[in-house]
Amino acid sequence: MTLTHPLSGVYAAAVTPLQEDGTPDQSSIPLLVEFLAGRGCHGLLFLGTTGEGPSFSPPERAQILRSAAQARRSHPALHLLAGTGTPSLDETISLTRLAFDLGFEGVVVLPPYYFRKVSEQGLFAWFDTLLNKAVPSDGILLGYHIPPITGIGFSLDLLSRLKDAHPLRFAGIKDSSGDSGFAQQLGHRFGPDLFVLTGNDRLFSHALENHASGCITAMANIYSPLLRQAWDAFQQGGSTQVMQDMLTNARKILDQYPPMPPLLKELMHRLHNFPRWPVRPPLWFFSPANIQEVIESLNSLTS
């Protein structure tokens, strides 16, 4: 099966390199881009959940996005998405405009997550305004569906209404619900007309079988070659079972040590010689006492 959306594929929800004082480490962003581009990623998402996006101020986000856009010049085929959602509509509009001005192909936008008991009319009005004011005719917006974190999700009817109102600019969603039933419902309701990128490695093959166009996952920071193998096998009509089983088992191990950003940063340091980047509070360093246990568990999957 060949997927035709130009932004289809495997995306890493990139970690954000930080200096010891917690400020963005701009000098490391090109190294990270080079690493992930060379390991099978079609694209990268900066400032998503794994990238600690909500922990940064608007000027810091702008700094990180500029560094990523500049680093992408060495890899012009690499797609860039930016996490620009905040509870403030005006702030989200500004960050979204900036991402497109910098050459990002798309944005991934959380719903305004402070007021949780809002109507679908209110959510539609919020996204409708954002799309009209900040997304150019050649840009795309993906809603970020992660209700376990935001407390607000995208219903099938809301997705349909946004798609009808903005058939090109509202492309679809990043589905990080972890709900296999919802992935199936998306496929049944929209088929290939909605651009869906799953956020859960365990559901990668299941999502592809239900018309998803790829994935954006935290685990792609270290497992992008395996995700790419599964992607390529699916596109060629082959079986993804072996790769999917490995992805599922690896995700089960990593899920035992939440939250993901400090664990991934420690693994990237230990496995790939990146600096030991810190995380922003309230996240904290991963316990050194546990890292060898994690590595040995992951190594056992291929032994």
Please check whether residue 296 lies inside any domain of the structure: no
Active-site residue, selected from the candidate residues 174, 198, 240, 257: 174
Give CB contacts under 8 A, 24+ apart, made by 290-296: 290/257, 291/266, 291/267, 294/253, 294/254, 294/257, 294/263, 294/267, 295/267, 295/270, 295/271
Please check whether residue 263 lies inside any domain of the structure: no
Q: Are 264 and 240 in contact (CB under 8 A)?
A: no
Average pLDDT in the 48-58 region? 97
At 211-225, the pLDDT tens digits run 999 999 999 999 999
Is 113 annotated in the active site?
Answer: no
Please check whether residue 225 lies inside any domain of the structure: yes
Domain containing 174 — which CATH number?
3.20.20.70
Q: Residue 268, CB half-sphere, CA atoms under 13 Å: how many?
A: 27
Please check whether residue 291 lies inside any domain of the structure: no
Is 174 annotated in the active site?
Answer: yes
At 116-130, the pLDDT tens digits run 889 999 999 999 999
Number of domains in the chain: 1
Please check whether residue 300 lies inside any domain of the structure: no
Is 114 annotated in the active site?
Answer: yes
Active-site residue, selected from the candidate residues 11, 16, 49, 92: 49
The pLDDT mean for the chain works out to: 96
Q: Are 175 and 202 in contact (CB under 8 A)?
A: no
Please check whether residue 106 lies inside any domain of the structure: yes
> What pTM did the predictor assign?
0.96
Domain around 96: 9-236
**3 state SS for the chain:** CCCCCCCCEEEEECCCCECCCCCECHHHHHHHHHHHHCCCCCEEEECCCCCCHHHCCHHHHHHHHHHHHHHHHHCCCCEEEEECCCCCHHHHHHHHHHHHHCCCCEEEECCCCCCCCCCHHHHHHHHHHHHHHHCCCCCEEEEEECHHHHCCCCCHHHHHHHHHHCCCCEEEEEECCCCHHHHHHHHHHHHHHCEEEECCHHHHHHHHHCCCCEEEECCHHHHHHHHHHHHHHHHCCCCCHHHHHHHHHHHHHHCCCCCHHHHHHHHHHHHHCCCCCCCCCCCCCCCHHHHHHHHHHHHCCCC
Whether the pLDDT of residue 2 is over 60: the answer is no
Active-site residue, selected from the candidate residues 144, 163, 217, 223: 144
**Confidence band (pLDDT; 50, 70, 90) for 4?**
low
Say which residue the tokens 């050649």 belong to. Answer: 138
Is 86 annotated in the active site?
Answer: no
Q: Are 36 and 224 in contact (CB under 8 A)?
A: yes
At 161-198, the pLDDT tens digits run 999 999 999 999 999 999 999 999 999 999 999 999 99
pLDDT of residue 1: 47
Please check whether residue 146 lies inside any domain of the structure: yes
At 62-77, the pLDDT tens digits run 999 999 999 999 999 9
Among residues of the chain, what percentage have pLDDT more than 90? 95
Whether the pLDDT of residue 104 is over 90: the answer is yes
Please check whether residue 270 lies inside any domain of the structure: no
